[in-house]
Amino acid sequence: MNFKVENGKLSKELKAIKRVINDRDTPSYLRDFRFEVNQSVLRITGNNCEMEACTIIDIEGEDDETELEINAKDLINLLKPYKAKDMLTFDTVAGTIDVNGMIQIPFVKEEYHDDITMPEDDTTLKSYVSMFSDTFIKALERVSYCINSKEHDRPSLCGVYIGLEEDHMDFVGTDAHVLVKDCIKEFSTSGISEDSRKYCIMDVNFVNIVTRTIKDGHIKLCMGNKAIKIKNESYTFIMRNIPEKYPNYNAVFPTLDGPKVIVDRKEFLNTLKMINTTLNNDFIANDHNRVIIEIKEGILKIKTAKTECKVNMEGCRADTFVGFNGIFLQRIFEHIPGDKISFINLSTQGTGSHAKLIMPEDSNEDVSTVLTIMVTEF
């Protein structure tokens, strides 16, 4: 193997693929990059047995096919002294890779996939959903913040649910206290039939890797029974599909046609942050973290046992007294888009449901994203 590549281009892709690799308590072959060289193209792959990521970059000066593994951490560290525009020359010499004739890195040649048990890749690029990468990433980020990755007894709650409906796609995340749904309408499909799988559950740890790596262009999403494939112009990810039934999230959403209480997001959030300084500042749903939203005589107040503050409001002024976990509520207002936010059926005289709906006031049927959030009253 003998080729040249610019350090900036190579290092960028190595750092992206490295996000998949786990350096701790794993066999040596799961700490390696796999290099595959074929006709002036270098394919770099990383794997952790649950997720595989790969990318392809152009190189100079190699026509032979070569496959080998290099320790990921060592390679990245050894390339740090070089500047982004420096050209690197890689050559294999007696079981090592020689970089610019100065650095030698051991490598191994072995049957990489024989020792790695990945889910059967039952996805194909003949059947997929396509959308802008930015749309996909924003939807994942808007719903994944409330997911608890340590819900080992309920694996489905450790991931983002993605479901293809007739005229939209649902992205859903929940920790059983907060439920977030983002509806995407700007997408296209290819090869999707009645027999095609139309939903998947993506582990939140994989979601974090994908959202940090994919930035531009379009993505293709393929949903198989065992695996999920995400591909754009630069990267391909294959990951396990969580094999669990997702809760019926639509059943817990209150009606959308109830009375609204509208607040300014920034004003409400800043007031809530100040109020929350008197709480325990954790995510446990108990009385010690409760804040009260009270509307009395047309005035809205956020209250705790120790303090209270007024917040400007519009809309329904019916007397209301509702308790929420203050930390949960703050987290929602930190992530929800829009300047004006609506509480739907906030009044205890509304539907009587323990679910209170919070959504951007400017959402409507014409926008590409409609975000709704359910908070549990306690």
Same domain membership, residue 73 and residue 169: no
Q: How far apart are CA 57 and CA 39, in angstroms?
A: 11
Do 260 and 239 share a structural domain? no
Residue 321 within any structural domain of the chain: yes
**pLDDT tens string 92-129:** 888 888 888 888 888 876 554 444 444 555 556 678 99
Q: Which residue has the higher pLDDT, 310 or 373?
A: 310
* CATH number of residue 25's parent domain: 3.10.150.10
What is the number of other CB atoms lying within 10 angstroms of the CB of residue 303? 16
Mean local confidence (pLDDT), 64-86: 90
212 against 24, higher pLDDT = 212
Decide if 123 is inside a domain: no
pLDDT: which is higher, 282 or 21: 21
Number of domains in the chain: 3
Residue 8's pLDDT is what? 96
pLDDT beyond 90 at 214: yes
Name which residue leads in pLDDT, 266 or 105. Answer: 266
Please give the radius of gyration of the chain, using alpha carbons only, rounded to the nearest integer.
Answer: 25
CA atoms within 13 A on the CB side of 309: 15
What pLDDT sits at residue 334?
Answer: 93
Position with higher pLDDT, 366 vs 317 = 317
- Residues 7-16 have pLDDT tens digits of 999 999 999 9
Last residue of a domain, one of 115, 140, 170: 115
| Residues 244 and 143 placed together within one structural domain of the fold | yes
74 domain-assigned: yes
Confidence band, pLDDT 50/70/90 cuts, at residue 333: very high
CA distances from 316 to 185, 297, 349 (A): 30, 11, 11
> Is the predicted pLDDT of residue 25 greater than 80, yes or no?
no
pLDDT at res. 107: 83
Percentage of the chain with pLDDT > 70? 86
Please compute the mean of the pLDDT values over residues 351-378 and round it to a whole number: 58
Last residue of a domain, one of 225, 248, 271: 248
The pLDDT value recorded for residue 119 is: 52
pLDDT attached to residue 327: 87
Q: Which of 156, 169, 161 is nearest to 128 (CA)?
A: 169
Q: What is the pLDDT of residue 369?
A: 42
- Residues 268 and 164 both lie in one domain: no
Residues 201 and 301 in one domain: no
Beta carbons of 251 and 374 less than 8 angstroms apart: no
- Give the mean pLDDT of 180-194: 91
**Domain assignment present for 122:** no
pLDDT in tens, 131-146: 999 999 999 999 999 8
Instruction: Tell whether 154 and 63 lie within a shared domain.
Output: no
85-99, 243-257, 331-345 — which is least confidently predicted?
Answer: 243-257
One domain for residues 211 and 296: no
If asked whether residues 266 and 361 sit together in one domain, one would say yes
| 14 part of a folded domain | yes
Question: Does 121 reside within a domain?
Answer: no
In a domain? residue 219: yes
Residues 232, 141 within the same domain: yes
Helix, strand, coil share of the chain (percent; to 5): 20, 40, 40
Task: Return the higher-pLDDT residue of 178 and 235.
Answer: 235
- Say if residue 371's pLDDT is above 60: no
Q: Does residue 310 sit in the same domain as residue 283?
A: yes
- State residue 348's pLDDT score: 53
User: Is pLDDT above 50 for 370?
Assistant: no
Question: Residue 62 above 80 pLDDT?
Answer: no
Asked, for residue 120, whether it belongs to a domain, the answer is no
- What pTM value is reported for the model? 0.87
Give the residue ranges of DSSP H helices in 39-166.
72-79, 133-144
- Residue where a domain terminates, one of 64, 94, 115: 115
Q: Does 172 share its domain with 274?
A: no
Q: What pLDDT shows up at residue 177?
A: 83
Q: What is the pLDDT of residue 151?
A: 72
Same domain, 235 and 138: yes
Band of the pLDDT at 366, cuts 50, 70, 90? very low
With tokens 């409507």, the residue in question is: 364
pLDDT attached to residue 373: 55
Q: Is the torsion defined by CA of 198, 158, 143, 134 positive or negative?
A: negative
- Sign of the alpha-carbon dihedral angle for 207, 210, 212, 217: negative
Q: How confident is the model at residue 350 (pLDDT cuts 50, 70, 90)?
A: very low
Q: Specify the 3-state DSSP secondary structure of 326.
A: helix
Residue with the larger pLDDT of the pair 43 and 125: 43
Residue-number span of the structural domain to which 363 is assigned = 253-376
pLDDT at 118 (0 to 100): 46
Give the span between the Cα atoms of 231 and 218, in whole angstroms: 8
pLDDT confidence tier of residue 154, bands split at 50, 70 and 90: confident
| pLDDT, position 363 | 61
Burial class of residue 169, CB neighbours in 10 A (0-12, 13-18, 19+): buried
What is the pLDDT of the chain when averaged over all its residues?
84
